[in-house]
Amino acid sequence: MVRDGYKQTEIGEIPEDWDVISLGDYVDITSGESPSKLNLVSSGIPYFKVEQLNYDSKYIRKTPYFFEEGKTVPKGSVIFPKRGASILLNKIRIIAQDSFMDTNLMALTARGELFGEYLFYCLDYMGLVNVADTTSIPQINNKHIKPFKIPLPKKSEQKKIARCLSDADQLISYLEKLIAKKRCIKTGTMQQLLTGRKRLPGFGSGKGYKQTELGEIPEDWNETTIGKVGLFKKGRGIRKDQVKESGNPCVRYGEIYNKHNDYIKDFCSFITDSVALEATKLSFGDLLFSGSGETSEEIGKCVAYVGHEDAYAGGDIIILSPIKQDPKYFGYLMNSAPVVKQKSRMGQGDAVVHIQAANLADVIICLPELKEQEAISTLISDMDKEIDLLISRLGKAKDIKKGMMQELLTGRTRLVEIEAAE
Residue 57 pLDDT level (bands cut at 50, 70, 90): confident
pLDDT score of 419 more than 70: no
pLDDT attached to residue 258: 86
pLDDT at 113 over 70: yes
Enter the pTM of the model. Answer: 0.85
CATH number among 2.60.40.10, 3.40.190.10, 3.90.220.20, 1.20.1050.10, domain 6-152 = 3.90.220.20
Q: Which whole number is the average pLDDT over 181-191?
A: 96
Is pLDDT above 90 for 24? yes
Compute the average pLDDT of residues 200-227: 93
Taking all residues of the chain, what is their mean pLDDT, rounded to a whole number? 93
Share of the chain above pLDDT 70, in %: 98
pLDDT tier for residue 416 given thresholds of 50, 70 and 90 = low
For the stretch 264-318, pLDDT in tens is 999 999 999 999 998 999 999 999 999 988 887 888 999 999 999 999 999 889 9
Question: Has residue 109 got a pLDDT over 80?
Answer: yes
pLDDT level of residue 382 (50, 70, 90 thresholds): very high
Fold of 222-367: Adenine-n6-DNA-methyltransferase TaqI; Chain A, domain 2 (3.90.220)
Per CATH, domain 154-204+369-422 is 3.30.300.210: no
Cα separations (Å) of 191 from 91, 155, 339? Answer: 35, 53, 12
pLDDT of 114: 98
3-state secondary structure 6-18: EEEECCEEEECCC
Judge if 6-152 and 222-367 fold alike in CATH terms.
yes
Task: Tell me the average pLDDT across 165-186.
Answer: 96
Q: How many residues does the chain have?
A: 422
> Does residue 212 surpass a pLDDT of 80?
yes
How large is the average pLDDT for residues 68-87?
Answer: 94
Residue 319 pLDDT:
96
pLDDT at 417: 57
Dist. CA 323–CA 68, nearest whole Å: 64
Q: Domain-by-domain residue ranges, the chain?
A: 6-152, 154-204+369-422, 222-367
Residues 6 or more apart whose CB falls under 8 angstroms from that of 150 comprise: 11, 20, 21, 23, 119, 122, 123, 126
pLDDT at position 134: 86
CB 259 within 8 A of CB 314: no
CA distance 314 to 325: 24
The confidence band for 415, taking pLDDT boundaries of 50, 70 and 90, is: confident
The distance of Cα 58 from the centroid of its chain, to the nearest Å, equals: 16
Looking at residue 332, its pLDDT comes to 96
pLDDT above 70 for 124: yes
Average pLDDT over residues 65-74: 92
Give pLDDT, residue 418. Answer: 45
Convert the pLDDT of each residue in 231-265 to its tens digit.
Answer: 999 998 888 899 999 999 999 988 998 888 899 99
How many C-beta atoms lie closer than 10 Å to residue 129's C-beta?
13
pLDDT in the model for residue 295? 83
Q: Exposed, middle or buried, 328 (CB in 10 Å: 0-12/13-18/19+)?
A: buried
